[in-house]
Chains A and B, each alone.
Chain A
């Protein structure tokens, strides 16, 4: 209740609530990060933040979605409901961290606007129903996460009481029901995204258990509510409908009855029966499940109060709920379904015989939680402590299991921030490479080919083009994995042409391996070689697609029979650029062509490249 707005109406209970929220989140994120680093030492900081924020947000969303039905099924969970909006805003903040970092990591520094790229990476995509089967690889997962983020944003942005008042409780509640839509979208985001690459059965199991828990609790609560609504009244007399036997009323306590097809609240207070709307003006809480505290009806959700005789909040507060006329006859409470004019003082009626009521002696409020009071009832406090303890025990186990079950992370090194000087012969075809030779003192110095890429998701810088076959020098950073090494030319201003190559520095031996047909995942060689971990798979698909669009040489990740994986550089024939669809990135393709080794680097001069529709 408020006569003016404050940012947060802090009180002791809220501080304790938020403190435990912080502790539980810190435990979840800390355990996930610790176990991830211990069991997967190659995980990058970016991936760690992406995954831990996603895990924390999802866990929090599950908790949020469980609190509502739990409080309906068992009133002892009401203290958890009290400050639920802080959970929601925190959850949105975590989701925003995840989304912002994902867009930055996978879609920034490319040839397209990052947000546009995140949502359009699949625009020329293939039907998920191609060839008579369903192919989730063809369905974008980013859009589901984006949709959920929009819903969560709207909920977080309207979480302040200002919005409750200015949107109206009905619209506000309807808007916040959309959290279920956000949840559904997030389940699909996870199922179509990370679970397409992660093969541990733990993930579908955890996701399924979470889904079953949330939906089961909501259905159980809905079932209970439906039964309450079906308690229809008997025929009316003079407009009055029987509400309930007087004996069912207890002094100081509310009772929810269905009259005129809608729920109302009945209260027995100091021997009088009062009827009010069951809907709290705050968040629509069930007043009939509340109590009389200090002579006023008190909502069980957030403690908003109304005088029983006129429905008005005690001054200086201005909220009013409708009141109704009641009668007591033959041991039955009758109620007129039409509300009295707002704030009219005529709804109370004497109970015929106080002795007929079960609550002749008023019961206390020892089991009634009011969040803004310094202390909650001891019994509820014990129950809340137990619930928090269960979470404090379960969350680290969950976080550890999720961290441990992650698939192994690729090797590969990106010497980010380490600039070295390079000198060699530049080749622009079949893909940009620098041929460097071994130590000059050696009788047979040997040579190696280092792929050349630009910074970010760009290919060879403009300054380096048009110098095919010339000896050049420049600074850059190394990226390497297995037998593949590349240079990120991140300092194009250092590029200089040294002239024609010396004998032995130019074209090296080309080992022709003949015609082959290879099948593997289409990857962008830069990310796969060490810039990203993971640098392959569906979660990386948007990034790979953008890299390929920016001119990063495409590679085919080929799995050998016991020899490990090899990336074969894909190139066009006769120096022509490879004609292919960048949206095949992260999918299985079949390439046919002439295979050759350029100083040990496998290059396939592609004759035919096709997408393999996986059954």
Chain B
């Protein structure tokens, strides 16, 4: 139904624009002699009104064309008392209706969705979170704030007595990087990755540990041993974002 109404409205306004064009040429001065000498800007200013209220002006034009007063035999006199009464009733209506409706809509604002009890979702998304228990029992052998080129994350490397190592990334906010993966390479790179990333590859033999995003706490298991380096690589942009040499933190 709304589509039909819109089509009818568009047709009405199109007819109004057509009327406005014809009326400006042939009827304007006849209906209102004061428009004699009116400039283009005046004509443009009244055109939207003509398009909207063209039936009203059409009636006036017909009256004027018939030699009568365009406003009709007796234009309805202004009745300020009637206007004041209408004004008062309108104010009272708005006063009574609008605040009540506005209040009701605010009182009944929908509450946010319940927090979801789906721990497996968040644990799975956290990568090695299931290894969290192991991580908690391990010794922190390295911790570093913003080890990857200033990205908002904290790195902790933990080690067990068995020599197994784990990495815990505490990402405090959205990294605003697409499809970011964490890679481990046994070798240690020379030089830094420039800010903004660098097209290229992680070292040969590097291994994908998992996706990195934030905010989240993400856990990853590292191969046993010492040293090596961690690489952040955007699989969408196919570029290295940053790397960190293990052991270079505290």
Contact = CB atoms under 8 A, between A and B. Distances in A.
A342 to B, nearest CB: 12
A606 to B, nearest CB: 14
B60 to A, nearest CB: 7
B210 A600 contact: yes
Given A177-B86, A191-B106, A595-B120, A438 B208 contact: yes
A334 B201 CA distance: 102
Which bracket fits the contact residues of B?
35 or more
B83 A170 contact: yes
A139 B42 contact: no
B183 interface: yes
A219 B91 CA distance: 7
Interface stretch (B46-54, B138-146, B157-165, B189-197): B46-54
A219 B206 CA distance: 77
Contacts of A514: 120
Contacts of A517: 118
A115 B6 contact: yes
Given A261-B81, A263-B80, A445 B179 contact: no
A408 to B, nearest CB: 11
Nearest to A218: B91
Q: Select the residue from B38, B111, B121, B126 with max chain A CB neighbours within 10 A.
A: B121
Interface stretch (A203-211, A246-254, A371-379): A203-211
Given A5-B35, A116-B3, A116-B6, A566 B78 contact: no
Contacts of B98: 183-184, 187-188, 211
Contact of B173 (A411, A447, A559): A411
B133 interface: no
Contacts of B121: 513, 516, 518, 558, 560, 566, 568, 595, 602
Given A177-B90, A443-B205, A158 B80 contact: no
B202 interface: yes
B42 A7 contact: yes
A437 to B, nearest CB: 7
Contact of A163 (B49, B77, B86, B99): B49
Interface in B198-225: 201-208, 210-211, 213-217
A204 to B, nearest CB: 5
Contacts, number: 310
A468 B116 CA distance: 33
B101 interface: yes
B34 A438 contact: no
Contact of A158 (B53, B114, B117, B235): B53
A contact face: mostly helix, strand, loop, or mixed: mixed
Contacts of B32: 162, 165-166
Contacts of B126: 563
Given A442-B201, A450-B236, 9 more contacts: A177-B83, A177-B87, A207-B102, A229-B81, A439-B183, A444-B206, A446-B235, A559-B115, A563-B217
Interface of B: 2-3, 6, 31-32, 34-39, 41-42, 45-46, 48-49, 52-53, 56-57, 60, 70-71, 75-81, 83-84, 86-88, 90-92, 94-95, 97-99, 101-102, 104-106, 108-118, 120-122, 124-126, 173-174, 176-179, 181, 183, 201-208, 210-211, 213-217, 233, 235-238
5 closest cross-chain pairs (CB), A and B? A446-B208, A483-B213, A157-B49, A480-B178, A7-B41
25 contacts: A4-B37, A5-B38, A119-B6, A136-B105, A168-B78, A169-B78, A180-B91, A188-B102, A208-B99, A211-B98, A215-B95, A222-B84, A222-B91, A226-B84, A439-B238, A440-B201, A446-B210, A448-B179, A482-B174, A483-B211, A519-B113, A559-B116, A560-B121, A561-B117, A588-B110
Interface of A: 2-7, 115-116, 119-120, 123, 133-137, 139, 153-154, 156-158, 160, 162-163, 165-171, 173-174, 177, 180-181, 183-184, 187-188, 191-192, 195-196, 204, 207-208, 211, 215, 218-219, 222, 225-226, 229, 261-263, 278-279, 284, 286, 411-413, 420, 422, 436-448, 450, 478, 480-483, 485, 487, 511, 513-514, 516-521, 557-561, 563-564, 566, 568, 587-588, 595, 597, 599-600, 602, 612, 614
